[in-house]
Amino acid sequence: MYVRAAKSGKSSRIAGMATALGVTAVLGYVVAVSVDTFIPPEDVRTELALITPPPPPPIEIPEPPKVEVVEEIEAPPAPPELVAPDIEVLPELPTIVAAVAEPNPIPEPIPVAPSPAAVTQTRSAPRLIAGDKPDYPSAARRAGEQGTTELRVCVSSAGRVTSVAVARSSGSSKLDDAAAKWIRGEKFQPAKINGVASEVCGHNVAYEWSLRDA
């Protein structure tokens, strides 16, 4: 049995060596064939073409949202807090009743003498006593002059004219002078105050000159 085992191990070593030699030979062949059949790659040129891209679409800018401005209204200030004042309660005072004095007797009114009655004066203006008319001046008649002469006279208590003045002219000095001369020679019923004849100044006398009476 020992001899068979030794033979068997020797055969295994020989078989392994033979296998290794075979593998080595195959690898060498493959390398040789690969070296003979290698073909270098061709020179490949790559042409780059610039492709212009299309223009980008317009960008739409959205409108900004409308901002509503809200006005801030300041709230009115709060009213000040009312503080009730401290009320001091005073003690009730006793009621004082004052003595009422009796009124003095009212004296009797003293009789007053009646005032004298007001004196009423009666006055009457002087009045011209009808007499002759003045002569129409011939020069004024020839010139066709006419009009009204108003005289202001003073009349004495005897009814005589003491002064004469022309208050309003007739427009003709000839007629005015003739009227003044005429009134000086006339007589008046004197003015009376309370029935007594008195002198009066400022009495007006008017005389109308008319060519119909010339």
Provide the edge-to-edge strand list for the sheet that holds 191-193.
123-124, 191-193, 196-198
The string of pLDDT tens digits covering residues 11-20 is 666 666 767 6
How far apart, in Å, are the Cα atoms of 114 and each of 111, 118, 120? 9, 12, 18
pTM over 0.85: no
What's phi and psi for 207, nearest 5 deg?
A: -130, 130
According to DSSP, the β-strands at 191-193 and 127-128 are unpaired
**Confidence category of residue 93, pLDDT binned at 50, 70, 90:** low
According to DSSP, the β-strands at 191-193 and 188-189 are unpaired
> What pLDDT is recorded for position 179?
95
Number of folded domains that form the chain: 1
> What pLDDT is recorded for position 1?
43
Token digits of residue 84: 């009730």
List the domain range (segments joined by +) for residue 156: 146-213
Q: Decide if 7 is inside a domain.
A: no
